[in-house]
A and B are shown apart, each in its own frame.
Chain A
């Protein structure tokens, strides 16, 4: 019945509909990129700075690359970095937030204060410092990791407050009295509640991380040979693409970035709506009527 109600929900939710449309576009690009044998690091394979035409549907760059195929390689890279950053940061946040919230007392105090610091401190200057210091070591994996360690603050607070409220519920006391260990309680009793929220949260994390990767790459703080949305725009700026009218070089990456980000955002908004207790109750009522019929 759960799957049926979810399928029903998808059919009717506008957010979800748009999200699926947008993310399908992204997915197509990613698939093309994954299966394409094109190598963007081979410069001057095509005539430079050509506008979109039949042979190059998104034109060519000043480095003689095909924009479309380069973007097809770049988009999955950006998403990969974003996803890694989001997942790692949320794992960290769940661990710290849950641990602090459950234990309470001094542990909680210390973790909270540190989390608060990571929220207040402006992250871009710090990211710039880190990326500059480790410039030689920057690749998809390390960038994901760097972004992750700066994005766990807020989520850990949210999970902590969820844990705090779950802690007070009756079933927790029951579990304790029936001899469940702390870790067992957290994993078996609390996690099922948290997981839907964590999934929605990861999507927000991806959005932030992709934005940050783009920003850092544009400033030149990444391995500029690796194609990502950010590095494409970096090279476009390096060659003054805007003022030379080579709009396709930076324009298509921007468009596809926006499509991806917005698609992800609508997905998270729709899922959040689905998880919202109020609408859940309404749906349960309706589905109960359905069962009767």
Chain B
């Protein structure tokens, strides 16, 4: 009978056959269930790590200190202002232990030195991940409920960019990424709203195509559209992967749509001269290579990147346009960064001939286009609208589109569930962004984003910059961010201002925060230099730094222009902190000069970087000082020696903290260096 009962019932009978037994087994069950929580706690991952940390530090000589710093249990950094709740330091116990330099085993490594402390900012703010989690997987990986996995180390500088808007010295990748975004004009198509209001600006200068027929031929436009990098390896225009028909249609439309510019119609004043020696020397003398690059025989692109590469310029431009451009670029493109050199007609002819010879006979050899039909022109117009050409280029008759491409204001915190991944790409946001930069059209059919040819390092840099555009950057309280330095729209006044625009001074020099940092900052130039020297220099710029390749070109200014510029510079660009005439520029006794010389050569070793005696000194870093007494004002030299960074922030001349006497003696020595070997002293 008993045997016929099913086994579960037997077991049931055994456990709860009578009340005592039932009570016993129930209490046992209760006890076990009560033990689950402490057991789970005891065997938790973080306790395991804390125990192994304690085991690790036991044998170290600084065990006592480390043990004293150690706090058991779950640790939490809480900063309500930043919305930070981080428990990372529960396992990463050694993060703030300066003594743990020799440990390379996670989670016990000390954090590398950074300017912030973890107590204040927490970890997730920079590293992402889930701060409140207490298991490795939940904290580091993306889970169903949490889409922010740990940020790979290569993009870590993006986190600095959430709060720091101006470039930081310690974040070269982020700075490079931001620079590339500005240079390649990402924001022409993709809007990026700034947290402080306004839009992110591009720094590229895509040319207007409204008068393109003056400048070049339909064949060249066709070849350029097909593959811009085939024409110039350093071209920033991306490849739209157009087929032959599309390129033919767009080129037809652009030529048809173009209107002539008055000044370009001028016929060549003189036939282009093909004198390669004279051309090369004029090209060199005018320091064209400061802004323009040319590919050399070895295939390296050598020269500046301010203006376009000129390797095959002869294939591109019409000779009459080139001549007119060299004569005065402002006729064709008024805001151009190219200075208006005052070349003579003969010089224009030589330079035109020299540049025309820079061509590749194969480049346009195989392009034969039929004359454009009205149908083609209409299709071209449609294509121009469809590809958003006017986002970057001005084309008369077609408006710049709004919101042409997806906005990138919060791209750095976009949930990966909202992204469509191309096959073979890991499903994380950084991989999505870098994949998109690498091959934009691999993600779906019919995408319009063109193909760029970035290097792997450039893609990493741009991805870093894009990841810094995120939700937190937008919502951070203003008090916690470092705002960008406001862009200066300084404009010099009057006739001198017009002249400075014409000569494009701001393409190289910075004045009152506006301009480039290629050449010296001229904000206080009027305090620094003597008028006579300034006039001579504008007439015939002789370099002060023999080692530099980039130099001030000769603009062939008229005496009137020189005097207008000198008047303005001497009157306006003066520092309010001292009077330039407060110290005499000559007439110091020989004893004082000698004392300065001793200090210069012996105590301060200035000859390491500067040349005073052209025969004996060799220093190549600072400007040559052989004629400094005819160039600078004594008061400027004195204040410069006392604190160079105060007069020109960021200059590398070290502040030697000179006493007033030493600074004065050095000034007296320097100001008596009047050039051509003569030293002016009072007997």
| Pair from one complex | no
